[in-house]
Amino acid sequence: MEQPKLPDLETICPHCGGSGYVTNPVWIEWLKKRKQNPDLPMPDEDEEVKCGECDGIGMVPTEAGKALLDFLYMYFIPAVERKNEGKARFYENQR
């Protein structure tokens, strides 16, 4: 029997093209200003920064991925928090 196939849960980030990094906005602004002032000193910052859309991962969830994340946050995360809360109480009582 063939296993059911899941839909794609993630896709390449359209903002960074999957690299996880984008050109620092400070550098973009510097490049624009440099056209009028070629002697403008270079910024003292990294030329690339972590992508804000994918947080540097290079991938973003699809609609199906977002639905799965919502499901996990609804059912799994509270269960883990309850389990960890019990452990925290146990360790507090051991002091």
Higher pLDDT, residue 48 or 92? 48
Range of the domain at 55: 10-60
What is the chain's mean pLDDT, rounded?
A: 86
Give yes or no for residue 7 having a pLDDT over 60.
yes
Give yes or no for residue 92 having a pLDDT over 60.
no
Same domain, 48 and 71: no
Question: 21: part of which helix (H) or strand (E)?
Answer: strand 21-23
Mean pLDDT over 17-44 rounds to 94
Same domain, 53 and 14: yes
**How many residues in total does the chain contain?**
95
Mean pLDDT over 48-74 rounds to 94
Same domain, 55 and 68: no
Residue with the two structure tokens 């002697």: 39
Q: How confident is the model at residue 87, as a pLDDT?
A: 52
